[in-house]
């Protein structure tokens, strides 16, 4: 296993309402020194969750919301921050109710994904939700979210949709499809 670089200095060089930019001065084991910058979330110390919610054996719920990063309405999976004191599965259930109007009788943690580990520290927990029932909680979204569904047999078509661009959501859908296929629930 490689030796991690030595941190020579660490400093917050910029802040916004949502993020801090942290500068890291590093020395690698071969003596090379470099300065890295990374985004560190403010108030997101408890992490985030993304939910693959299965309406039936083949279809997962997608939600549509305005995304400031792309300045567009995007399709993705229900997701959000984990609140202080809340575990991953409780956060998944809450976000699913707030964003999609469903609860789940079965919740299973699948994995943890990062968005861009070269310069972002944030990670997201992926949860599979099955045996859904209708239940809505009021969330913090500025407007009601649209809702759609995707057939897990058609993921290659989904990526051609200009409204669906989130790589970690695509990874989560493929993961869920593979797991459900292995379990014999979903037969491609």
What's the confidence (pLDDT) of residue 155?
94
Strand ranges for the chain from DSSP E:
6-15, 19-27, 33-41, 48-53, 59-67, 72-76, 79-81, 102-114, 123-134, 146-151
Residues 48 and 82 sit within 8 Å (Cβ to Cβ): yes
According to DSSP H, which parts of 51-143 are helical? Answer: 88-100
Q: What is the pLDDT of residues 28-83, one digit of tens each?
A: 999 999 999 988 876 546 789 999 999 999 999 999 999 888 888 999 999 998 99
Residue 140 pLDDT greater than 90, yes or no? no
Tokens of 36: 């890295």
The arithmetic mean of pLDDT across residues 97-106, rounded, is 97
Residue with tokens 């309405």: 73
The pLDDT mean for the chain works out to 91
Residue 186: pLDDT band (50, 70, 90) is low
Radius of gyration, CA atoms only, the chain: 19
């Amino acid at each position: 296993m490689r030796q991690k670089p030595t941190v020579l200095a660490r400093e917050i060089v910029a802040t916004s309402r949502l993020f801090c930019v942290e500068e890291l001065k590093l020395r690698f084991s071969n003596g090379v020194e470099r300065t890295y910058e990374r985004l560190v979330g403010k108030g997101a110390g408890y992490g985030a969750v993304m939910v693959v919610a299965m309406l039936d054996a083949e279809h997962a719920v997608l939600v549509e919301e305005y995304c400031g990063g792309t300045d567009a309405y995007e399709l993705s999976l229900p997701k959000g921050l984990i609140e202080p004191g809340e575990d991953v599965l409780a956060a998944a259930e809450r976000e699913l109710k707030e964003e999609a109007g469903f609860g789940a009788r079965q919740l299973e943690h699948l994995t943890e994904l990062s968005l861009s580990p070269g310069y972002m520290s944030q990670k997201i927990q992926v949860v599979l939700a099955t045996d859904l029932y209708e239940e809505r909680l009021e969330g913090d979204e500025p407007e009601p979210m649209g809702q759609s569904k995707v057939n897990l047999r058609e993921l290659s078509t989904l990526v051609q949709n200009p409204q669906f661009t989130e790589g970690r959501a695509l990874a989560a859908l493929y993961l869920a499809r593979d797991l459900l296929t292995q379990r014999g629930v979903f037969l491609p």
